[in-house]
Amino acid sequence: MKFIVNKGGKLSGNIRVPGDKSISHRSIMFGSIAVGTSHISGFLEGEDSLNTLRAFQAMGVSIEGPENGRVVIHGVGMRGLKKPAQALELGNSGTSMRLLSGLLSGQAFDVELTGDASLSKRPMQRVTRPLASMGAQVSTAEGGRPPLKISGGSNIQGIDYDLPMASAQVKSCVLLAGLYANGRTCVTEPAPTRDHTERMLNAFGCAVEKSGATACIHGPASLQACDIDVPADISSAAFFMVGASIAPGSEITLEHVGINPTRTGVIDILRLMGADIELINQAEVGGEPVADIKVRSSQLKGIHIPEHLVPLAIDEFPVIFVAAACAQGETIVTGAEELRVKESDRIQVMADGLQALGVNARATADGMIIQGGTINAGNVHSHDDHRIAMAFSMAALRASGAITIDDCENVNTSFPDFVGLASAAGLSIRSDA
Residues annotated as catalytic (active site), given as ranges: 315
132: nearest Cα among 89, 167, 173:
173
- Mapping DSSP to helix (H, G, I), strand (E, B) and coil, where does residue 283 land? strand
Q: What is the DSSP letter of 365?
A: T
| Cα dist from 234 to 20, 21, 41, 375, whole Å | 7, 10, 17, 25
Q: 6 φ, ψ to 5°?
A: -75, 155
Side-chain-side CA neighbours of 76 within 13 Å: the count stands at 15
Which helix (DSSP H) or strand (DSSP E) does residue 334 occupy? none
**In whole angstroms, what is the distance from residue 125 CA to residue 140 CA?**
8
For residues 399 and 375, what is the distance between their CA atoms, to the nearest angstrom?
A: 5
For helices 386-395 and 234-246, angle between their N-to-C axes, nearest 10 degrees:
20
Spatial separation of the C-alpha atoms in residues 341 and 329, rounded to whole Å: 28
- Report yes or no: 83 and 110 within 8 Å, Cβ to Cβ: yes
**Which helix or strand (DSSP H or E) is residue 318 part of?**
helix 317-325
- Could you tell me if 40 and 31 are in contact, meaning their C-beta atoms sit under 8 angstroms apart? yes
Q: Please name the residue ranges forming H helices in 204-296.
A: 234-246, 265-272
| Residue 310 region by backbone torsions, left for phi larger than 0, else alpha for psi between -120 and 50, else beta | alpha
Cα–Cα dist 141/120, whole Å: 9
